[in-house]
Structure 1
Amino acid sequence: MRSKAIHILIGVLVITGLIFVFWGNTIIARGLENTLQAITGAKVEIEGFRLNLFSMAVKMERLQIANPADTWRNIIAAQKISFRLAPGPMYEGKVVINEIIVEDLVFNEKRRTDGKLERVRVRKPKEKKESILSRAFATMPILKPETLAGNLDLKKITGSYQFKTDLSAARIKAEFAAYKEKWDTNLEELNDLKSELQGLEEKTGKLKNPIISRRSMSN
């Protein structure tokens, strides 16, 4: 039993080692990209990542970090990056770089592709609750459309609001009658004023005639 467990453990270690040998650099590179993208908020691309555990050396063929304010340009881009890590401080949880070499360091370089990150929409807890409630309501027979249609009596529903509708109609009719009465009163006052103006005009005409006749006689 113990030998079988040892064989299983060795097999797991061998598989893990093979995965790290063949895909370890890719996994680490993707992890670095995701970490830097979370910090900058823009796309980060690492090409040709290589980690040598024996010499604690890291090499990258190319690194480019997009500008979050202008995603069609890079904040920084570099070719042939290599550096060595000091092994001692790593046991204390520290990262110390002994030597770093960077070739063709470029700032504000124009990109060929958009460096904007594609935001993955995360469903909120409220939306999850609503979807659960929607599914629960869909399973209730009483809430199905055909059930509701069979139980609803439209005549009863409209009849219950008939009194309110009648009141609204009566109120509108009363207001209209009040406006009409007010309009008729104003119209009568206008006619009276017109008659008074005509009377004044006639009086003015009569006063003008004697004056004109006197002037003609004096001439």
Structure 2
Amino acid sequence: MNNKVLEFNDVWKTYKMGTENIQALRGINLTVNKGSFIAIMGPSGSGKSTLLHLAGILDTPSKGTVLLNGKNIKEYKGNEQAELRRKNIGFIFQRYNLMPQLTALENVMLPMISQDSGKAKKLLDKVGLSDKYDRYQTQLSGGEQQRVAIARALANDPSILLADEPTGELDTVNTRKIMGLLKDLNQEKGLTIIIVTHNPLAAEFVEEVIKMQDGDILDLGW
């Protein structure tokens, strides 16, 4: 049985800045197995977010291959990529990216393939917000907003969760709560979770740490 969810094979990513070529990734080789809980760490400019964007099919490599469930992401075109993301991948952002004119419940329902308020309520219950369905962003704390964002990321039952600095705006108490919630989702649902973080406390909750610098992987594990 193949447990490989994501595979990066000699992956390079080059961005053109004026007349200069910037190497964001330099020959990355990485395999992510089903049910993994991984943190990607490293200084700014190390390639962490670029790697996450490739994992989420928000970009494609300049060279090499990225495989999602065994298939090269370059084989998916336009709308196919969008549909693949919608059905397989949930995104959690540092600054939550909630729609301020919508309630917590409406934010969770927004990406749903079928607008199911009952399911959205269950997801908010799951993240501890059963009494916040009708609250707007300005009525929620930072930790509560991130919980709404997690519930929204789960709206279409993804097999992979990708989180870019999910605790970057949070204090220590809420960092522990959010990372504990992600750990529970990983263990209970078998979700594959990859986070980008600068926060050593957040990294304590994961199974594996990938350290990056200058577009390359320096170390796997602790």
TM-score normalised over the length of structure 2 = 0.17
Higher RCO (CA < 8 A, seq sep 6+)? 2
Larger radius of gyration: 1
